[in-house]
Amino acid sequence: PEIDLNSLRVVGAEALLRLQCPEVGLMQPVDFITVAEETGLMGPVGDWVVGEAISSLQHERAFAVDTGRYLAINLSPRQLDRTFTVDLVKRLKNSPALAKTLVFEITETALFENEERFSEFFADIRETGARIALDDFGTGYSSLGHISRYPVDFIKLDRSFSRLLSRGNEAEAQRARALIKATATLSAELGIAIIAEGIEDMATLDQLRSYGIGFGQGYLFSSALPATAFRDWAQAFSGNNEAGRSAAGIRAA
């Protein structure tokens, strides 16, 4: 789930991929994505993920238009060939209401390694009404100057910055604060929203709010949920008032 940090309202969710393996149980992406990329399966896997996410979006009441919520989908550079892009843009143009509830996430490393391809993709996608998020900001070839060159709607601060605010030494925390504040200032001028990843405690939440960060996700609110459980969780979370969400009780699920 992704949360408005000021109102503590559920604004959307990020679709995550897991693999249920008969031999070892639930596997995280780090355990199988590399294999998919090396064997040439990342394109088909990515296409399946997009199809499943859109299907869930269309059939899940938690993402109905009147909720104003969005669903964020991660895209791999391996799947962004012309055929995929043309088909996706056509589908979204045929369903404007659907497009407005979608956010496509691209890592900053992937973007800066394939700038020309992604520039075209960004222009095509945003024309449909869908939005773009720059994911894992701060871990790759970060440059605040790059933000102004690409039409992104969201910047997702990597979880390492939230972790340094609460668990790093003073020098690390100071550097994290400086980058967060600088990114927040520039993003506000450009009309780009910031989503902080990895929020795990109230102290970090309070700091991020004070720096002008508007949105976030992390274990303080909820761990990853099956799609079928998201609606009930969102309803329960929204049913609790802000005063009742203490550090111990803010996770409604």
pLDDT number for residue 186: 86
pLDDT number for residue 247: 37
pLDDT number for residue 122: 84
pLDDT number for residue 244: 38
Low pLDDT (below 70) residues in the chain = 140-146, 240-253
pLDDT number for residue 251: 53
The model's pTM is 0.88
Q: How far apart are CA 56 and CA 111, in angstroms?
A: 27
Instruction: Give the residue from 117, 116, 112 showing the smallest Cα distance to 134.
Output: 112
